[in-house]
Amino acid sequence: MDVGRRHILIVDDNPVELKTLRYYLQEKYKVTLTSSGKAAVDFLTKYTPDLILLDYLMPVHNGAAVLKEIRSRVETKNIPVFFLTGQTDADTISECLALHPAGYLVKPVAKAALLAKMEEVLG
């Protein structure tokens, strides 16, 4: 069923956000959900998704820490990562952009805007 479909990993500690994003993407993409940065890093030891949607504000390991971990590994360093967050303050945005994500989208994000940004990166 998922043969040939791009694989998207969504990392967010908010279950409503996870369900919403899965709903937006499941028609076109294979979607995996994780609810913490640790779960995402563990997932990435076994699988390599085509793109990661990463929440910034999470307990224990925030999105910046997770992206640093992703970039530190040869197997995962080239995976495009979008920060998808409600954080709009200049310090947070600067910290995130310094990590060179593929994008920074502010929640709540419209389905059409999300899909368009993902298509820009995935082709």
Q: Is the pLDDT of residue 4 over 90?
A: no
**This prediction's pTM:** 0.94
Q: What is the pLDDT of residue 71?
A: 94
For residue range 36-66, what is the model confidence (pLDDT) as tens digits?
Answer: 999 999 999 999 999 999 999 998 889 999 9
User: Topology of 7-122 in CATH?
Assistant: Rossmann fold (3.40.50)
Decide: residue 90, CB within 10 A, 0-12 exposed, 13-18 middle, 19+ buried.
Answer: exposed
pLDDT interval class at 3 (50, 70, 90): low
**Domain locations along the chain:** 7-122
For residue range 81-104, what is the model confidence (pLDDT) as tens digits?
Answer: 999 988 888 998 888 889 899 999
